[in-house]
Amino acid sequence: MKTANLLAISAAAVICLSSSMAAAAGDVKKGEKIFKKCKACHTVAEGGKNKVGPNLFGIVGRAAASTDGYKYSKAMKASGLTWDVATLDTFLIKPKKLVKKTKMSFSGLKKEKQRVNLIAYLETLK
């Protein structure tokens, strides 16, 4: 039993570390270009306005549904998520898979490198 728990914890640690390393290896400039797909619904300027989606300045490390002045879905409010690298990566693959009734209509980014680059860009917005 202890071995099984230790293996599970080790596997989780490896996944978290590999996600962090993947984002660190992302290309910020390419991520900024990929963000153009997001601009119709999101802004990233500090203090920027909310659009169809919330402003994403400082999103990495922030609790989900925490942007002031944005009306989130009940599902997002109840998600309990924190937008760390791993959670952002999972969400960006297919948003409605992670949060079933999210208001986000974007279908997702299937290519891992695009997600890694986008997250690297979002990490610079602090």
The residue written with tokens 């002031």 in the block is 68
* Helix, strand, coil distribution of the chain in percent, nearest 5: 50, 0, 50
pTM score, whole prediction: 0.80
CB 32 within 8 A of CB 121: yes
Domains and CATH numbers, the chain: 2-123 (1.10.760.10)
Q: Within the chain, which residues score under 50 in pLDDT?
A: 3-23
Q: What is the pLDDT of residue 25?
A: 84
Q: Is 83 helix (H, G, I), strand (E, B) or coil?
A: coil
pLDDT at 24: 56
